[in-house]
């Protein structure tokens, strides 16, 4: 999986860094942070999430809050997804777009009440997103909106897997008496400190994300492990998080999404309010919808032994092109699927090739490996 950000000597640490060291995690640079890749086996951690439960430290993610009169209007201007229709206690996936329709970042939007919102943003984009939001929704445009970056003050844990609900019920007995459905959130208290619980995640499994003050992150981590011990909960790192999100065909910023790629090209048009709205990038996206995207994201599976990694060239099927290695696109993510027992990936294709069953090849270390477009999510 990719690493991003600062040199090793300048890496930031999450509030749980000492916990990861005590568990002998393999720490790697990611998005400017020292993050656990795994604690033992990526395969075992992946299976824990699919079969029981896994606990991730994702405190490297950022939280940018917008509060006050006009916050909803400001976010309608910023985000390509609808905002006013989001009820308090709900969460919605969306994107910040630039004027050309490219994705500045993909985010989750939380509405806590009528005038309190926050965006959970990608770690590598915290500073970039802050500047973008301040540029378009600063004091000049929306004088009553208060912007605050609470990233460093917040710990974020993700408990994912089929046993996650039972573990949360043990940890927070009152939290789920009113069912918390997918993409809902609730403001709670835990050990006399604020806690936000949301039924969200990035693994394709059922699960929860828990936001708390940074100083309480380590204690919350330990409490979840203790509550989940009988359910086989396992600490999990970025390695399993990447294979899990790939099986669910969830995009990763910097791989499937970037400033040059639009939500329509990435197959995320359902999250774009194209018919109405004056968000940044709307005009460019409507024009792209009218003329048609030049590329399209699709999932694929290899039909030959091997692994197609990010950056590998997608080429025409040699059997149909007289052996010519004509590049058609590029792999954005790829890995062996622990759940499916085969190599899978995501990549950008010409629109006419991005259809289920289309045959092509992936150039891996100079060798063309047969592949075909597959339905997503893979699992």
The confidence score (pLDDT) of residue 204 equals: 97
- What would the pLDDT profile of 340-371 be if each residue is shown by its tens digit? 999 999 999 999 999 999 999 999 999 999 99
User: How far, CA to CA in Å, does 105 sit from each of 95, 97, 124, 130?
Assistant: 6, 7, 10, 11
| Helix 126-137 × helix 71-78 angle, to 10° | 110
The confidence score (pLDDT) of residue 325 equals: 78
What does the alpha-carbon distance between residue 222 and residue 224 come to, in Å, rounded to a whole number?
A: 5
The confidence score (pLDDT) of residue 5 equals: 37
- Are 183 and 88 in contact by the 8 Å Cβ rule? The answer is no
The confidence score (pLDDT) of residue 317 equals: 83
- What would the pLDDT profile of 61-116 be if each residue is shown by its tens digit? 999 999 999 999 999 999 999 999 999 999 999 999 999 999 999 999 999 999 99
Residue extents of the structural domains in the chain: 8-59+153-247, 62-126, 295-374
The confidence score (pLDDT) of residue 2 equals: 35
- Are 315 and 365 in contact by the 8 Å Cβ rule? The answer is no
Query: Can you list the residues of the chain whose pLDDT is less than 70?
Result: 1-9, 321-324
Q: What is the CATH number of domain 62-126?
A: 3.30.70.1400
The confidence score (pLDDT) of residue 290 equals: 96
Q: What is the CATH number of domain 8-59+153-247?
A: 3.30.1360.120
Q: Would you identify the CATH topology of the domain 295-374? A: Elongation Factor Tu (Ef-tu); domain 3 (2.40.30)
pTM of structure? 0.94
* Unique residue bearing structure tokens 């500045």: 104
Residues ≥6 apart with Cβ < 8 Å to 370: 302, 303, 304, 317, 359, 361
The confidence score (pLDDT) of residue 323 equals: 60
């Amino acid at each position: 999986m990719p690493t991003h950000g600062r040199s090793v000597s300048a890496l930031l640490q999450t509030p749980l860094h000492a916990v990861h060291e005590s568990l002998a995690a393999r720490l790697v640079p990611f998005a400017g942070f020292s993050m656990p890749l795994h604690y033992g086996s990526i395969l075992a951690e992946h299976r824990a999430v699919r079969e029981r439960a896994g606990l991730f430290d994702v405190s490297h993610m950022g939280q940018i809050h917008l509060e006050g009169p006009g916050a909803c209007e400001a976010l309608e201007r910023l985000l390509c997804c609808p905002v006013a229709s989001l009820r308090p206690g709900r969460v919605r996936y969306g994107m910040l777009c630039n004027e050309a329709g490219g994705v500045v970042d993909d985010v989750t939007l939380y509405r806590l009440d009528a005038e309190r919102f926050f965006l959970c943003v990608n770690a590598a984009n915290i500073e970039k997103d802050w500047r973008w939001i301040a540029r378009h929704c600063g004091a000049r445009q929306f004088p009553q909106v208060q912007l605050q970056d609470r990233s460093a003050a917040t710990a974020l844990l993700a408990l994912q897997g089929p046993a996650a609900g039972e573990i949360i019920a043990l940890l927070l007995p009152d939290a789920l008496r009113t069912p918390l459905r997918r993409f809902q959130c609730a403001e709670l208290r835990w050990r006399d400190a604020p806690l936000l619980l949301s039924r969200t995640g990035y693994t394709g499994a059922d699960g929860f994300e828990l936001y708390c003050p940074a100083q309480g992150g380590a204690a919350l981590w330990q409490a979840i492990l203790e509550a989940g011990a009988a359910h086989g909960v396992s600490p999990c790192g970025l390695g399993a998080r990447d294979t899990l999100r790939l099986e669910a065909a969830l995009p990763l910023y910097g791989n499937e999404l970037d400033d040059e790629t639009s939500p329509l090209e990435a197959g995320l048009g359902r999250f774009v309010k194209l018919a109405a709205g004056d968000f940044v990038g709307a005009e460019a996206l409507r024009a792209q919808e009218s003329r048609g995207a030049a590329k399209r994201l699709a999932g694929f599976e290899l039909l030959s032994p091997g692994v197609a990694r990010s950056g590998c060239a997608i080429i025409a099927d040699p059997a149909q092109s007289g052996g010519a290695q004509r590049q058609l696109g590029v792999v954005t993510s790829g890995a062996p699927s622990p759940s499916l027992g085969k190599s899978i990936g995501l990549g950008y294709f010409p629109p006419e090739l991005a259809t289920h069953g289309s045959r092509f090849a992936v150039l891996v270390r100079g060798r063309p490996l047969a592949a075909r477009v597959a339905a997503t999510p893979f699992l």
